[in-house]
Amino acid sequence: MLRAVVEDTKLALATIREHKMRAFLTVLGVIIGTGTIIGVGSILAGFDGAISAIFRSFGTNSMIVFKWPPGFHGRLTPEERQRKPITLEYAAAIEDRCPDVVRVSPFLMPWNFDVRGPQIFKIKYKGNDLFQIDLGGTVESFAAASGVEMLSGRFFNEFENVHRMPVVVIGEDVQKALFANIDPIGKEVDVNGHVVTVIGVMKRPAASFPGQQDNRVYLPLSTMRKMFPQAKEMYLVVEASKGKISAAQDEVRAVLRQERRVPPSKPDNFAISTSEQMVEQFRQMMSVTALVMVVLSSIGLLVGGIGVMNIMLVSVTERTREIGVRKAIGARRLDIIIQFLTEAVVLTGLGGLIGITFGWIVSIAARFVFPSLPTMVPTWAVALGVVVSVGIGLFFGIWPANKAARLDPVEALRYE
């Protein structure tokens, strides 16, 4: 049996070599479908690693408090749109009344609209401008809570925050855009018409979105409130004692329900998320994307399978006399079925291998284009690609193989 399969494989390879272009066009759908599974699977795996690293950069003992669910969520409900913002008073209440909380770091975000319409935030140094900056106001403890590392200079301190000092720390790409070959420390820059002094440059986060620029511009919280009084939206990074994240989460929820006057029968009108909860939420969303990927790649595989079936039917017609000769010298129906199924499997298997190679090239290219995207070809994608391509050969090769096996040897020998 094994020897027969080996011989049939050699015969199939010889047939493919004789009709290279026909074989390639036949399995083109299989190549595209398998390549899609491998390429998109590797990108999704890399995206999962990048986003998970971003969320986990807040630390396993940290949580984020916001009035809406942070991370990925659908359209806001009317109740969510009407929620009151998180305030500094809540941060103080959490620090005072939650024994398992170490510290709370508020982060104030700018309001993007005013009476004139959408507001664009920019930073300027002499003749150099940078638009679409990530502007925010925070406190000294935020640096430790969110894993900020300094490339040069320092982060602002509590004294500068309390006294509303006009100082700023900038991201690595802001430095490159404004200060090409100049030391930015001590230089005065313009942030939407407000002159502030650069005291530090933050190192690009090790975990960041693929292709994301480090355009962070952070002011002390009190300075931000003074310069941008219309800014109201804030979130809190709450650090729990080591190993006490669950207890701290319960304490924070209880305090916030009291502060926001939430009746016992009503659900929370705020959101608390840990890094692991955000990772889990993101993966639920990505599972839908993976399902869509499988459906789309299945279309290419279906087209490839139909092409394989058609070419195998043509092959049966072309080799009718050969089938008759094999039956006349004693070949059984099973031998004929195995011969044509082997040929179909070899054809789609080679298409699958080419598709895997194509997907691997896509993965490498994505890594070069987006260095922060740790693309990798997952084992499950390779295994799925091989199994699916071989399965297509078996499924779509059954009908041609049965047709060949049912041929009458006498009629087959007389076929011209």
CB 143 within 8 A of CB 268: no
| Mean pLDDT confidence for 142-164 | 91
328 vs 138, more confident: 138
Kindly indicate the confidence band of residue 227, based on its pLDDT and cuts at 50, 70 and 90: very high
pLDDT tens digit string along 315-367? 777 777 777 777 777 777 777 777 778 888 888 888 888 888 888 888 888 77
CA 363, 366, 371, 373 dihedral sign is negative
Residue 166's pLDDT is what? 96
Of 360, 311, 274, whose CA–CA distance to 64 is shortest?
A: 274
115 has a pLDDT exceeding 50: no
210 has a pLDDT exceeding 60: no
114 burial level (CB within 10 Å; 0-12, 13-18, 19+): exposed
CB atoms within 10 A of CB 190: 14
| Mean pLDDT confidence for 2-15 | 68
End-to-end CA distance of the chain: give it in Å, rounded.
31
Residue 282's pLDDT is what? 75
Residue 184's pLDDT is what? 94
Of 318, 385, 383, 308, whose CA–CA distance to 341 is shortest?
A: 308
147 vs 71, more confident: 147
Residue 300's pLDDT is what? 74
416 vs 31, more confident: 31
Does this model's pTM top 0.95?
Answer: no
**Residues above pLDDT 70, as percent of the chain:** 88
96 has a pLDDT exceeding 90: yes
Backbone torsions φ then ψ of 259, nearest 5 degrees: -65, -35
157 burial level (CB within 10 Å; 0-12, 13-18, 19+): middle
Question: Encoding tokens for residue 198?
Answer: 């650069």
Residue 323's pLDDT is what? 72
CB atoms within 10 A of CB 139: 25
Kindly indicate the confidence band of residue 156, based on its pLDDT and cuts at 50, 70 and 90: very high
**Residues above pLDDT 90, as percent of the chain:** 30
Q: Which of 46-50, 110-114, 365-369 has the lowest mean pLDDT?
A: 110-114
pLDDT tens digit string along 379-398? 777 787 778 888 888 888 88
Of 209, 221, 89, 81, whose CA–CA distance to 142 is shortest?
A: 221
375 vs 88, more confident: 88
CB 154 within 8 A of CB 185: no
The rounded distance, in Å, linking the Cα atoms of 350 and 304 is 13
The rounded distance, in Å, linking the Cα atoms of 238 and 103 is 6
Provide the strand spans (E) within 48-121.
62-66, 101-108, 113-114, 117-118
Question: Encoding tokens for residue 40?
Answer: 């998109």
CB 259 within 8 A of CB 89: yes
User: What SS3 class is residue 202?
Assistant: strand
231 vs 208, more confident: 231
CB 29 within 8 A of CB 300: yes
- Of 26-40, 236-250, 335-349, the range with the highest mean pLDDT is 236-250
Of 174, 100, 82, 98, whose CA–CA distance to 136 is shortest?
A: 174
Residue 74's pLDDT is what? 60
| Mean pLDDT confidence for 172-183 | 91
DSSP state of 210: T
Q: How far is CA 373 from CA 42, 147, 208, 276, 366, in A?
A: 10, 20, 9, 20, 8
The rounded distance, in Å, linking the Cα atoms of 215 and 204 is 9
CB 70 within 8 A of CB 107: no
Kindly indicate the confidence band of residue 375, based on its pLDDT and cuts at 50, 70 and 90: confident
pLDDT tens digit string along 261-318? 999 899 999 988 887 777 777 777 777 777 777 777 777 778 778 888 887 877 777 7
Of 108, 184, 191, 107, whose CA–CA distance to 152 is shortest?
A: 184
Kindly indicate the confidence band of residue 165, based on its pLDDT and cuts at 50, 70 and 90: very high
User: What SS3 class is residue 356?
Assistant: helix
CB 299 within 8 A of CB 307: no
The rounded distance, in Å, linking the Cα atoms of 317 and 235 is 71
Q: At what angle do helices 379-405 and 333-369 cross, to 10 degrees?
A: 150
93 has a pLDDT exceeding 90: yes
- Of 3-17, 214-228, 231-245, 275-289, the range with the highest mean pLDDT is 214-228
**Helix runs in 370-413, H state only:** 379-405, 409-413
Residue 107's pLDDT is what? 94
